[in-house]
Amino acid sequence: MKRNILLVEPNYQTKFPPLGLMKISAYHKQLGDNVQFIKGYKQDVLYSYWDKIYIATLFTYNWKVTIETIKDYKQAVGGDISRIIVGGILATLMGEELWKETGIIPQRGLLKSAKEISKDIEDDNDLIVEDLIPDYALFDESTQKYTLIEDSYFGYSTRGCVRRCPFCGVHRLEPDYIDYKDLKTYVNSIKRIYGEKYHLVLFDNNILASEKLSNIISDICDLGFEKGAKFNNRQRHVDFNQGVDARYITEEKMKLLSKIAINPLRIAFDDIKFEKSYIGSVELAAKHEIRNLSNYILYNYNDTPEDFWERLKINIDLNKKCGLKIYSFPMKYIPLNAKDRTYIGTNWNWQFIRGVQRIINVMKGAVMYKEDFFHRAFGENKDEFMMILHMPEYLLMHRGEEIQSEESEWRSRFNSLTQSEKEELLQILCENRSKSKLINSISKTKNRKIKAILNFYIPEETNLSLLDNIIAEEDI
Whether 135 contacts 23, CB under 8 Å: yes
Residue span of the structural domain in which 113 resides: 4-131
E strands present in 122-206: 152-155, 199-202
* Shared-domain flag, residues 180 and 270: yes
Render pLDDT for 179-204 as a digit per residue (tens, 0 to 9).
999 999 999 999 999 999 999 999 99
What is the rounded CA–CA span in Å between residue 457 and residue 436? 12
If asked whether residues 209 and 345 sit together in one domain, one would say yes
Q: Would you say residue 431 has pLDDT above 70?
A: yes
pLDDT at residue number 259: 98
* pLDDT digit string, tens, across residues 164-173: 999 999 999 9
The percent of residues in the chain predicted with pLDDT above 70, rounded, is 94
Residues 416 and 351 in one domain: no
Answer whether residue 342 is part of any domain.
yes
Res. 470 pLDDT band, cuts 50 70 90 = very low
Return d(Cα 241, Cα 334) in angstroms, integer.
19
Per-residue pLDDT at 394? 87
Same domain for 35 and 121, yes or no, is: yes
Residue 463 pLDDT class (50, 70, 90 cuts) = very low
Q: Which H or E run includes 229?
A: none
Task: Tell me: do 327 and 420 sit in the same domain.
Answer: no
Task: Give kind and range of the element (H or E) at residue 52.
Answer: strand 52-57
Q: What is the pLDDT of residues 128-147, one digit of tens each?
A: 999 999 999 998 765 556 66
Say if residue 15's pLDDT is above 90. Answer: no
Going by their DSSP bridges, the two strands 84-88 and 230-231 should be labelled as: unpaired
User: Over the stretch 373-423, which tens digit does the pLDDT of each residue have?
Assistant: 899 999 999 999 999 999 999 899 888 766 788 899 999 999 999 999 999
The pair phi, psi for residue 107, each rounded to 5°, is -85, 120
The CATH code of the domain that includes 27 is: 3.40.50.280
Is the separation of the CB atoms in 6 and 50 below 8 Å? yes
Give yes or no for a contact between 198 and 234, defined as CB atoms under 8 angstroms apart. Answer: yes
H/E stretch holding 356: helix 350-362
Length of the chain: 476
CA 466 to chain centre: 27
Q: What per-residue confidence (pLDDT) applies to 430?
A: 95
Higher pLDDT: 396 or 217? It is 217
Does residue 270 lie within any of the structural domains? yes
What's the half-sphere exposure (Cβ side, CA atoms, 13 Å) at 271?
Answer: 9
- Give the amino acid at 349: N
Q: Model confidence over 251-307: pLDDT tens digits? A: 999 999 999 999 999 999 999 999 999 999 999 999 999 999 999 999 999 999 999
Report the mean per-residue pLDDT for the chain. 92
Q: Which of 373, 388, 403 is the last residue of a domain?
A: 388
Residues 229 and 294 in one domain: yes
Which domain CATH number covers 354?
3.80.30
pLDDT at 5: 97
Domain boundary among 100, 131, 162: 131
Asked, for residue 283, whether it belongs to a domain, the answer is yes
Angle of helix 305-322 versus helix 275-287 axis, rounded to 10: 20
In terms of domains, do 282 and 381 share one?
yes
Helix (H, G, I), strand (E, B) or coil at 82: helix
pLDDT at 473 exceeding the cut of 60: no
E strands, 280-335, in order: 292-299, 325-332
According to DSSP, the residues that pair with 155 across neighbouring strands are: 202
- Please choose, from the candidates 233, 224, 219, 153, the residue with its C-alpha nearest in 3D space to the C-alpha of residue 187: 153
Q: What is the distance between the alpha carbons of residues 433 and 441, in angstroms, rounded to a whole number?
A: 10
Residues 267 and 154 occupy one common structural domain: yes
Output the pLDDT for position 143: 59
Q: What is the pLDDT of residue 460?
A: 62
Higher pLDDT, 463 or 34: 34
Tell me if residue 434 falls in helix, strand or coil: coil
**Which of 320, 355, 388 marks a domain boundary?**
388
Residue 101 lies in a domain: yes
Strands 52-57 and 84-88 turn out to be parallel
Asked whether residue 115 is assigned to any structural domain, the reply reads yes
Is 60's pLDDT higher than 70? yes
Task: Say what the pLDDT of residue 147 is.
Answer: 63
Closest Cα to residue 64, out of 345, 474, 349?
474
108 shares a domain with 156:
no
Residue range 61-72: average pLDDT? 97
Same-domain status, 354 and 248: yes
Cα dihedral 459, 461, 462, 465 sign:
positive
The whole-number average pLDDT for the span 38-45 is: 92
Determine how many CB atoms are found less than 10 A away from the CB of residue 192: 10
383 found inside a domain: yes
Q: Given a cut of 50, is residue 468 above it in pLDDT?
A: no
Mean pLDDT calculated for residue range 33-50: 93
Residue 66 identity: T
Query: In total, how many domains does the chain have?
Result: 3
Least confident of 11-15, 336-340, 382-386: 11-15
Whether 309 shows a pLDDT value over 70: the answer reads yes
Mean of pLDDT values over 314-339: 95
Residue 397 falls inside a structural domain: no
Measured in degrees and rounded to the nearest 5, phi and psi for residue 331 equal: -125, 115
Question: In this structure, what DSSP letter does residue 35 have?
Answer: E
Dist. CA 334–CA 390, nearest whole Å: 23
Average pLDDT over every residue of 326-347: 95
Question: Contact at 8 Å (CB) between 53 and 71?
Answer: no
Same domain assignment for residues 50 and 191: no
Does 143 fall in a domain?
no
- Residues 183 and 239 both lie in one domain: yes
Banded pLDDT at 475 (limits 50, 70, 90): very low
- The band of 472, judged by pLDDT with boundaries at 50, 70 and 90, is very low
